[in-house]
Structure 1
């Protein structure tokens, strides 16, 4: 089978990969997105906080993304059943199922001529002198690209090829489960996040006009006991600290619960030569921050500027990635540290409130610009 050539190959068709593909194609780059699944991924967060909405707004997508989503402006926090604070978002935040948001960006990509290769996993990545030369896929196709982006998740094949070791720390003290349930009046009224001094938390929020999402975090020893005994045991446990969302208890009886693994992930480097990492291939923070997707959108924006500024010059690309993309480790590290602090303190009301940072929780990184990034200059 003949080898295909393109300007940029993106491995992974999640939100970060699709958004980067859209930005690059709009600026004349020939882009191929490789996805091992039959369609865009469905697993991901449902929230876009103000930093992510600002990124979409800079590229004319905020209204489109919000058209069928839900806007909220406050989250109420409880400890052992008592409300302890409201976190307010002056500009609001968006709730929209992850798959819907990715499909929206994917549709925009298709209109811009981005080529998507589905059901295509990586068999081999050929390197030469520290740069990616060619991708060999499981379906026999081969691809040569001037730039390769690994947006292929926590087990990134691109990252493994670049020999960049991840530092992964599982949040083993809390097991997380998630279910989709019918929307109730209390959930439609307000997003509510409950903590208990026994090491439990649960989050109720609307997902659409008729559905809601429920997250439950609990100690590993309780998880085994509760989910073996069945949903009545879960509801009994929640009744001990969930107060203003009791109308949701009946809907939990028939819920299907999915266990999800949550870990932090840090890297010492985000690129090597002509290849870079994006999204959960580069970093992962605890979902309590609610900021992972928003930071990834901004990362994609920076990568698009860098790739276009390099103009196909591989040496210049390496230098620009070092100067403008590698510093993202600082912002990501701050967010990961914040997530670690939240998960470590939620049992204790005063400790949690002391760890809570409205600036990071609402606005994200203080340095995130409100206007279009200036054009990068060669260095």
Structure 2
């Protein structure tokens, strides 16, 4: 087959890959996005916190993304059933929008900028020579040559492997995560609540639209085998021990389908080599308790777009700019990963968790201050605020 040439090849059509493609397409770059699946991915976080929303606003996307999203400005935390703190978010709070909907919005915007998407396109080989990616070979025989290559292809990144960049994956072995989508109850519509127990369980309940909610349950692996083999009654018995102000959601858990999620931290030795760079969970992964992964990835894509456009067609300049302007992001990511590790390792202990909690990282340096609250907390109006 003939070889196709482009300015930038992006492997992976998740949020980071699509957003970078959009920014580059707007600046006149010929971009090809390669995605192994039949469409944009559906698995990902449902939250955009203020830093990510500010990135989208800088590029005229805030109104589009918020149009059918849910705005919240508070998360209340509980330990063994007692409210222990609240985190309040400034600047209009954070946005809840199902991941697939968010990515599809960005993907649709890419079409107006001439970005090409190749779906069902698995990578068969990546030719690397003299420290740069020379050619991508797809499973169907197509070949693609690009001035810059971005690996936005997840924690098992083929681009990262081809570049020989070392990775360190640290599974959170003491905590298994399961998620279900259920009908929305009044308590979940009212407020996002995250519950911890001294037995090593956590439960997070939040709305994703006016009719549905997500329920995350984290539990020790030895409990997972017993609970989900015995069925939902056993799960409810455990949740009733520490989930207090969201008990009206219990009835919706009976018919729920639970999906098991593997959660790990990922660190890599470098974010680029030559003309190729890593983005999103190909570069780093932190515990979802931080809620910041997508916001950091959007800012990373913004930096990459600036670097690629500044380098033009000069591969040596691209390498230097990636080293000078993108590699320093590893420091911010390391802080976030360490913070996620701290949250995951302390939530069993109320005082240790409160000591580990960092408002600056939870809202990316803005003035959200956790507040100690008593057991008697005034209730908010039972309504969702739609952006």
Q: With structure 1 as the length reference, what TM-score do the two structures score?
A: 0.96
Q: Distance in 2 between matches of 1:243 and 1:144?
A: 57
Please state how far the C-alpha of 1:268 moved relative to its aligned partner.
Answer: 1.1
Cα distance in 1 for partners of 2:173, 2:54 equals 34
For the residues of structure 2 that align with 1:301 and 1:355, how far apart are their CA atoms?
30
2:7 aligns with 7
What displacement does 1:312 show? 1.1
Given that residues 120 and 139 in structure 1 are in contact (C-alpha distance below 8 angstroms), is that contact kept between their aligned partners in structure 2?
Answer: yes
1:59 matched residue in structure 2: 59
- Residues 1:365 and 1:87: Cα distance change in structure 2 (over 3 Å): closer
**CA 1:365–1:4 in structure 2 vs 1: closer, same or farther (change >3 Å)?**
farther
The CA deviation at 1:363 is 2.6
Q: Tell me the CA shift for residue 130 of structure 1.
A: 1.1
CA distance in 1: counterparts of 2:40 and 2:158, whole angstroms:
18
**Contact persistence 2:53–2:62 (CA under 8 A):** yes
Q: What is the distance in 2 between the residues matched to 1:301 and 1:192?
A: 32
CA contact (8 A) 1:331 1:365 kept: no
Q: Confirm or deny: 8 A CA contact 2:90 2:366 kept in the other structure.
A: no
The residue number in structure 2 matching 1:73 is 73
Task: Give secondary structure in 1 for the equivalent of 2:363.
Answer: helix
Which position in structure 2 is the counterpart of 1:150? Answer: 151
1:234 counterpart = 2:235: yes
Aligned to 2:39: 39
TM superposition shift of 1:364? 4.9
Which residue does the alignment assign to 1:140?
A: 141
The residue aligned with 2:99 is 98
Task: List structure 1 runs of 4+ shifted beyond 6 angstroms.
Answer: none
1:295 equivalent to 2:302? Answer: no
Residue 179 (1) aligns with residue 177 (2): no
The whole-number CA distance in structure 1 between the counterparts of 2:254 and 2:312 is 57
Gaps spanning 5+ residues in structure 2: where?
A: 368-387
Pairing of 1:192-341 with structure 2 (within 5 A): 192-341=193-342
Matched-pair contact (CA < 8 Å) for 2:70–2:209: yes
Match of 1:117 in 2: 118
Which residue of the partner structure matches residue 370 of structure 1?
none
Secondary structure of 2:136's match?
strand
> 2: distance between equivalents of 1:344 and 1:104?
36
DSSP 3-state at the match of 2:38: coil
Partner Cα separation in structure 2 for residue 292 and residue 250 of structure 1: 32
Q: Over the residues paired in the alignment, what is the CA RMSD in angstroms?
A: 0.9
CA distance in 1 between counterparts of 2:99 and 2:171 reads: 23
Which residue matches 2:360? 359
Contact map agreement 1:291 1:364 (CA 8 A) in 2: no
| Separation in structure 2 between the aligned mates of residue 45 and residue 127 of structure 1, nearest angstrom | 33
8 Å CA contact retained: 1:204, 1:212 = yes
For normalisation by structure 2, the TM-score amounts to 0.94
Partner Cα distance (1:269, 1:363) in 2? 23
What 5-or-longer segments of structure 1 have no aligned partner? 367-379
Query: 1:19 — aligned with what?
Result: 19
